[in-house]
Amino acid sequence: MKIAELELRTINLPLVRPFRTSFGTQTAREVLMLKVTTGDGVVGWSECVALSEPVYSPEYVAGCLDEMKRFFIPALLSAPVLTVESVAPLLAGFLGSPMAKATLETALLDAQLRAENRSLADFLGANKSKIPCGVSVGIAPSIPQLIEEVAGYIKDGYKRIKLKIEPGWDIEPVAEVRRNWPEIPLQVDANQAYSRSDGPQLAKLDQFELLLIEQPLDEHDILGHAQLARQVRTPICLDESIVSLRAAEDALALKATTIINIKPGRVGGYLEAVRIHDLCLNEGIPVWCGGMIETGIGRAANVALAALPGFTLPGDTSASSRFFLRDITEPFVMHDGFLDVPNTVGIGRTPDMEFLNSITSYKESIGP
């Protein structure tokens, strides 16, 4: 494959409701987009799932943009032979930055599949035509407001509810949601908010028959998760800790997790995501697909991934309307709690260029 042009742009996509981070509240999602045009004129798209600030991972939008321009794109343009499979090896000498690397790999994969007249779902090995939708619910100002928000999602048809928890906001809100909806599949996400000494507190969640407790401890504390798993009955699920196939292998060997959340951007792309899926499928470990508030571009690729056989739990692949007033692509619309898996060429979505241009804050083209 020959690259004729790469176009980088950042957009600011308005959100349905404000998104809270430790740096404040955001009313729009800043997204780094990539468009690749091959020498044959085929176009591929992707997005970088890094947030504006390094609060979920060390990566952030401006940093990813700088790394791609300064290091990654020159490395790919100088390669004598470039394939989707060669992207990760070519960039392996640059440490870290899986989200930025995944952006390049995914855009090239989209272009390659479009040239082959093949869908991403087919390429990845999907065996489902639709996937169940779960929704992630943030920490609310009050329990009544939480109940009101959850009620809306259940009315919409979501198949699974995920509640964010932290010390001081855990047992009581979970108890109230479970009291109102005794049968709804329910899980919690701690986003690394607890410490090893919090095992007794987290064990109090066992009474609510949760699907899982997601990432309770620091992402580097694999041993702590293994110790915690022996203190609680609820399954421990790792998210931020799973940055590669090797990390997944180690976590399973140490019995630090019995469920894994696969986020393609976090592990360096869809090729590595499939390797982790295959490992877990062979080991009998359930997996599900997490979300990073993706636009329709990233959401389309995630839906295709979530259609693989090992994804047996509803993920965070919600409808476009969950986050955005208007998506940059044809929106994903939920029907009876499910999203249809795109079956057209590539990732199955392309941007509305008029709308995309209207929310673009930066654009730059780079060629050989």
Please tell me the pTM assigned to this model: 0.95
Q: Residue 114: is its pLDDT beyond 80?
A: yes
Quote the pLDDT of residue 81.
Answer: 87
Q: Residue 23: is its pLDDT beyond 90?
A: no
Token pair in block for residue 89: 């090896």
Q: Residue 24: is its pLDDT beyond 80?
A: no
pLDDT in tens, 155-203: 999 999 999 999 999 999 999 999 999 999 999 999 999 999 999 999 9
Q: Residue 56: is its pLDDT beyond 90?
A: no
User: Quick one: which of 260, 237, 236 has its CA closest to 248?
Assistant: 260
Q: Residue 20: is its pLDDT beyond 80?
A: no
Least confident of 87-91, 268-272, 316-320: 316-320
Quote the pLDDT of residue 32.
Answer: 98
Quote the pLDDT of residue 18.
Answer: 76
β-bridge pairing 160-164 and 3-21:
unpaired
User: Quick one: which of 336, 308, 307 has its CA closest to 319?
Assistant: 336
Q: Percent of the chain at pLDDT above 90?
A: 95
Tell me which of 164, 204, 255, 363 is the catalytic residue: 164
Q: What is the 3-state secondary structure (H, E, C) of 83-141?
A: CHHHHHHHHCCCCCCHHHHHHHHHHHHHHHHHHCCCEHHHHHCCCCCEEEEEEEECCCC
Q: Is 263 a catalytic residue?
A: yes
User: Quick one: which of 161, 176, 177 has its CA closest to 337?
Assistant: 161
Where does the pLDDT of residue 30 fall: very low under 50, low under 70, confident under 90, or very high at 90 and above? very high
pLDDT in tens, 247-271: 999 999 999 999 999 999 999 999 9
Least confident of 21-30, 70-79, 122-131, 335-344: 21-30
DSSP 291: -
Q: Percent of the chain at pLDDT above 70?
A: 99
Give the helix/strand (H/E) hosting 203. helix 199-203
Residues in the chain: 368
pLDDT in tens, 220-240: 999 999 999 999 999 999 999
Average of per-residue pLDDT across 281-289: 97
Tell me which of 35, 101, 159, 263 is the catalytic residue: 263
Instruction: Measure the CA–CA gap between 129 and 364, rounded to whole angstroms.
Output: 37
